[in-house]
A and B are shown apart, each in its own frame.
Chain A
Amino acid sequence: IAGITQAPTSQILAAGRRMTLRCTQDMRHNAMYWYRQDLGLGLRLIHYSNTAGTTGKGEVPDGYSVSRANTDDFPLTLASAVPSQTSVYFCASSPEGTGEQFFGPGTRLTVL
Chain B
Amino acid sequence: GQNIDQPTEMTATEGAIVQINCTYQTSGFNGLFWYQQHAGEAPTFLSYNVLDGLEEKGRFSSFLSRSKGYSYLLLKELQMKDSASYLCAVRDGDYKLSFGAGTTVTVRA
Contacts and interface: CB of A to CB of B under 8 A. Distances in A.
A100 B45 CA distance: 7
Contacts of A40: 101
Interface residues of B, number: 22
B98 interface: yes
B101 A101 contact: no
A42 B95 contact: no
B43 A99 contact: no
Interface string A12-42: 0000000000000000000101010000111
Interface of A: 31, 33, 35, 40-45, 48, 50, 56, 58-59, 90, 94, 97, 99-106
Chain B interface mostly helix, strand, loop or mixed? loop
Given A58-B96, A94-B95, A100-B48, 17 more contacts: A31-B95, A42-B87, A42-B100, A42-B101, A42-B102, A43-B43, A43-B89, A43-B97, A45-B96, A45-B98, A99-B33, A99-B48, A99-B97, A100-B33, A102-B45, A104-B42, A106-B42
Given A42-B101, A99-B30, A100-B33, A105 B95 contact: no
Interface of B: 1, 30-31, 33, 41-45, 48, 87, 89, 91, 94-102
B86 to A, nearest CB: 11
Nearest to A31: B95
Contacts of B48: 99-100
Nearest 8 interchain pairs by C-beta = A103-B42, A42-B101, A43-B99, A42-B99, A99-B91, A103-B43, A99-B95, A100-B45
